[in-house]
Amino acid sequence: MARSGVVVAFNGVDDLALVFLGRDIFAASDSWISMLYAASGLGILLGFTLVVSRATRFPPVTITIAGFAIGSAGNLLTGLSPVIAAAFAMQLVRGVGISLMEVGPTTLVQRTVPRHLLGRVFANLYGAIGVAAGLSYLVGGPLLDRPSPRTVFVIAGTGGIAASAILTLRVFTSAAHASENDDRPDDTE
C-alpha cells in the first residue's frame, strides 16, 4: 500500500490547482470553479454506487489499482481539457476514482491484516497518505506559477498513472511467483 502514498503525492495537488485552472486558464467565475469541485463530489457518489452494486465481483487490490488509475486519468485529462465543460466531466471521472481509492485499500487491509494489528496498519496507511498530501501541496504550489495549472494536472495524472502501472506489474509478478511456488512439490514429505 506504499503506492497509495505515491499516487496521493502526485494527485493531492489537484484540490489546490483546481481553483487556478478555473480562474487562470478557463477565466471561469467562482460559481463555475465551485462546479468543478462539485463534479468530483458527484463522481464520488457515482463511484460508491457502483462499488456497492459490484464490489464483490472484484478483489480489493483490483478496485484499488483501478481507483488509482481512474483518478489519475481524470486529473491528466482535466489538465488537457480545452473547455471548462470537459474539465467538469474529467473531474467527475476523478471522483469515481477517488471512491475506489477509498474502498479498495480499506477492504484490502481489513481482509489481510490480523485483527490485533488493524489499528497500527490503518494508522500507518492513512498517516502516510496525509504526509503525501502535504508533500504534494508543498511541491505543487510553486508549480502553479511556473509552468501552469494545466501542467500541474498533467504531471499529477501522469505520475499517478505511472505509479498505478508499477503497482499492477508488482501485483501480477507476485501472483505469478506465488503460483509457481504452489506448483512445486512439497519437500517436507
| Residue where the block lists cell 496507511 | 125
pLDDT of the residue at 4: 73
| Residue where the block lists cell 498513472 | 161
Range of the domain at 59: 2-164
> Residue 172 falls within a domain, yes or no?
no
> Residue 147 falls within a domain, yes or no?
yes
Q: Does the structure show a pLDDT above 60 at 188?
A: no
Pairwise CA distance, residues 163 & 184, whole Å: 32
Q: Are 65 and 148 in contact (CB under 8 A)?
A: no
Neighbours of 91 (CB within 10 A): 26
> Residue 173 falls within a domain, yes or no?
no
Pairwise CA distance, residues 172 & 177, whole Å: 8
Find the mean pLDDT for residues 110-126.
94
> Residue 189 falls within a domain, yes or no?
no
The runs of H, that is alpha helices, within the chain are: 2-11, 14-20, 30-54, 60-80, 84-112, 118-145, 149-183
Q: Assign residue 40 the CATH number of its domain.
A: 1.20.1250.20
Query: What are 139-148's pLDDT values in tens digits?
Result: 888 888 888 8
Pairwise CA distance, residues 110 & 151, whole Å: 37
Q: Does the structure show a pLDDT above 50 at 181?
A: yes
Find the mean pLDDT for residues 86-102.
96
> Residue 171 falls within a domain, yes or no?
no
Higher pLDDT: 178 or 130? It is: 130
Using pLDDT thresholds of 50, 70 and 90, give the confidence band for residue 189.
Answer: very low
How many structural domains compose the chain?
1
Pairwise CA distance, residues 15 & 149, whole Å: 11
> Residue 180 falls within a domain, yes or no?
no
> Residue 186 falls within a domain, yes or no?
no
Q: Is the dihedral angle over the CA atoms 6, 92, 149, 153 positive or is it negative?
A: positive
> Residue 29 falls within a domain, yes or no?
yes
Distance of alpha carbon 171 from its chain centroid, rounded? Answer: 17
Q: Which residue, among 36, 16, 152, 51, has the nearest Cα to 92 in the 3D structure?
A: 36
Higher pLDDT: 144 or 19? It is: 19
